[in-house]
Amino acid sequence: MATTGSVRLHTGQRMPTVGLGTWMLTDGEALKAAIDVGYRHIDTAQYYQNEDRIGEVLEQQIKDGKIMREEMFITTKLTPMGMAPEHVRKETEKSLKRLKTSYIDLYLIHFPVAHSDELLEKGVATPLYKDGTPKTVFIDPLDTWREMEKLVDDGLVKAIGLSNFSLKQVERIYSLARIKPANLQMEIHAWFPQYDFVDFCTKRGISITAYAPIGSPGKPEMPGLGPSGKALLEEPALKEVASKHGKTPAHVLLRNLIQRGIIVIPKSSNPERIRLNFEVFDFELTDEDMDVIKGLNKEKRLFTFGAVGERNFHHPFFPFPEIKDSCDFQDVNKDL
């Protein structure tokens, strides 16, 4: 198994630096391949609808003696439909059952905007307004957080954190929390490095996990998902740095974030790419290399959350003001 790195959370846990992202991943063979290579960090979410498959694979791998539960670091996320305080524990217990584990290593609020719970008992289907956008409700994430703190108290989860929250939202939770966030997961890559936000969290002992660390090149280019990041891997300056080290552009992008102290969760279902994404511990970027990558910054977000619908850009807990401010949709009460 390759030598790997880890980041120490304020809870004392060691969180592996490289994890397997599983958004849109249902292939159990891909997870087996990752474990064989040496991955010990798996990132999933209730919303991905693959916790049960992941649980089956992990259970079998443990039975076969390939891994021990204590070696694995499992991150999952509370569905936006389950953010009402009365649902949090029940939804957590569902995840525990699907993942076939007695505890979750890190549990995140997936998104600060809560969805209606009217279809919650049917799974993770999102109720929709007449215009096809998600039906949202007004639940303060702080109230959700209070219930998540109780999960830590009772040993159901080891650590709790946030995903897709704005800096102001993180600051509010941090300042009012009894148990401080251990991790923030957000979009970070060379086109969207979020230096100030990362610095803000680091100074408060909040670790950072980057999703789309290589630009999510496999993400479909659709209005609801945002632009493709394929061109990021084609940046000439990035290719030059990769060539100098005998590595791929993806290796350089991952290594850049790791050297910034950031955890990365590249997603792939291809066993060869899964292996390659893990080969980032045998080289180091120079300060000059890091400056080159810093120069690629375009402040370009690849996940624009258009699927939430323009009406929800005006929700009081929608986290991204640059998206909200660019929206001229005003009739937010239509069809409510």
pLDDT digits (tens, 9 = 90+) for 63-118: 999 999 999 999 999 999 999 999 999 999 999 999 999 999 999 999 999 999 99
Give the pLDDT score at 214.
96
Please give the Cα distance from 120 to 19 (Å, whole number).
29
Task: Judge whether 273 lies within some domain.
Answer: yes
Task: Judge whether 335 lies within some domain.
Answer: no
User: In this predicted model, what pLDDT tens digit does every residue of 124-133 receive, in sequence order?
Assistant: 678 999 888 8
Q: Is the pLDDT of residue 335 over 70?
A: no
Q: Identify the domain containing residue 258 by its residue range.
A: 6-325
Give the pLDDT score at 324.
58
Task: Judge whether 257 lies within some domain.
Answer: yes
Please give the Cα distance from 118 to 18 (Å, whole number).
36
Please give the Cα distance from 19 to 268 (Å, whole number).
11
Give the pLDDT score at 131.
86
Burial of residue 177 (number of CB atoms within 10 Å: 0-12, 13-18, 19+): middle
Give the pLDDT score at 121.
86
* Sign of torsion over alpha carbons 110, 100, 22, 161: positive
Q: How confident is the model at residue 331 (pLDDT cuts 50, 70, 90)?
A: very low
Q: Is the pLDDT of residue 334 over 50?
A: no
- Token digits of residue 279: 């080969």
Q: Is the pLDDT of residue 222 over 80?
A: no
Burial of residue 121 (number of CB atoms within 10 Å: 0-12, 13-18, 19+): exposed
Q: How confident is the model at residue 332 (pLDDT cuts 50, 70, 90)?
A: very low
Say if residues 257 and 247 touch (Cβ distance below 8 Å).
no
Q: How many domains does the chain have?
A: 1
Taking residue 233's Cβ as centre, other Cβ atoms within 10 Å add up to 18
Q: Taking residues 191-207, what's their average pLDDT?
A: 98
- Token digits of residue 60: 């079998």
Please give the Cα distance from 74 to 66 (Å, whole number).
16
> Which residues, in sequence order, are CB contacts of 178 under 8 Å at separation 6+?
146, 149
Give the pLDDT score at 78.
97
Task: Judge whether 72 lies within some domain.
Answer: yes
- Token digits of residue 100: 């076939």
User: In this predicted model, what pLDDT tens digit does every residue of 13-71 receive, in sequence order?
Assistant: 999 999 999 988 888 899 999 999 999 999 999 999 999 999 999 999 999 999 999 99
Share of the chain above pLDDT 70, in %: 93
- Token digits of residue 134: 């998600």
Q: How confident is the model at residue 325 (pLDDT cuts 50, 70, 90)?
A: low
3-state secondary structure of 209: strand
Task: Judge whether 333 lies within some domain.
Answer: no
pLDDT averaged over the chain? Answer: 91
Query: pTM of the predicted model, to two decimals?
Result: 0.93
- Token digits of residue 295: 């120069």
Task: Judge whether 254 lies within some domain.
Answer: yes
DSSP letter, residue 77: E
Residue 124 sits in a domain whose CATH number is 3.20.20.100
Report, as residue numbers or ranges, the catalytic residues: 48
| Nearest CA-CA partner of 262 in 320, 202, 215, 214 | 202
Q: Is the pLDDT of residue 217 over 90?
A: no
Say if residues 72 and 16 touch (Cβ distance below 8 Å).
no
